[in-house]
Amino acid sequence: MTAPSGGPQQAADAALAEVLDVLAARGYEFVSPTPGTHRLVRERHGATGRDLLRDVFGWTRPFAPGDLDPDLLATVRRAGVVEEADGALKLTIRVSTLDRRLYLHSAPTSARDAVFLGPDSYRFARFLRQRLAHGERFRAALDIGTGAGVGAMTLAAICSEAQVTASDVNPEALRLCRINAAHNRLPLTLAECSGVPAEPLQFDVIAANPPYVAGPLTRTYRDGGGPLGAGLALDWVKSGLPRLAPGGRFLLYTGSAIVRGADLIRDELERLASDGGCALDYEEIDPDVFGGTLRQEAYREAERIAAVGAVLTAP
């Protein structure tokens, strides 16, 4: 696993790791909803004191300096994740639980380099668990666009012997992924790149949960590129299939805009599988996600966005 830079950055990373240790010791749990749900629930009321850790680290509600115990407040200050406004404090990170593991990620934000974890992350992890039996043996695995590290850590938990690489174009994502992986005692190799890294030459398993929203959003974790947000997903599959070892599998979880009943992602994956001599197993996991996105001009011909899963197996 790559080492953090020295000095203030190393101290901040150590403080974030300490935050995870403290929350784990206190039995903290929080399931991260969609940004819209998060915003609605967070704004209902301020920190209540009845569930303070979830208010502060989950819902990222404003809190008073005296609400957290002094040691924990000092730790989040050392981590550099506290904002002050109107006499109150608020964290710029969130901590969520998935498969009983703690993950640092960005609080709801429109920042370009935000590190996303939400409902798609839970569906992605479930998809991987369903398609890869626990204890299944494989040597080299890759999670493309790892974000907070959900896919990579799910792969590492399935096969403890595998060398799992987590790639992302966003340095902040790799930073949080590294801290999350260390806390959860799941060793990863990190690669800062767009798509498939140069080494190793072949992978037994490649997993990806790419952004798939179309339109002028310019957010790394949402903008999928192409007219219907499918560009990045298809690019990753095209670049990943030649890197599969014989019998290797590419596991793709993404969203597909359905236009007049046609699933364009499925049609294109069928073509790519045929061209590469691969077997394709395709399923519609959820028929309707992010329905509000259909109001965007880019989706004027789409009738719904489905969450889909595909497994392409190399010959």
Give me the count of residues in the chain: 315
Average pLDDT over residues 235-258: 96
In the prediction, which pLDDT does 112 show? Answer: 79
Task: Write down the mean pLDDT value for the chain.
Answer: 91
Q: Could you read off the pLDDT of 105-116 as tens digits, one per residue?
A: 999 777 778 999
The answer on pLDDT for 124 being more than 90 is yes
Q: What is the largest CA-CA distance in the chain?
A: 62
Per-residue pLDDT, 291: 85
Q: What is the pLDDT of residue 201?
A: 81
Q: Is the dihedral of CA 125, 130, 136, 137 positive or negative?
A: negative
pLDDT of residue 111: 79
Lowest mean pLDDT among 108-117, 153-162, 232-241: 108-117
Q: Catalogue all structural domains in the chain, each as residue range(s) with its CATH number.
A: 8-98 (no CATH), 111-313 (3.40.50.150)
Judge whether 62 and 90 are in contact, CB under 8 Å. yes
pLDDT greater than 90 at residue 219: no
pLDDT, greater one: 76 or 264 = 76
How far, in Å, CA of 161 to CA of 141, rounded?
10
pLDDT of residue 223: 59
Cis status of the peptide bond prior to 119, with omega within 30 of 0: no
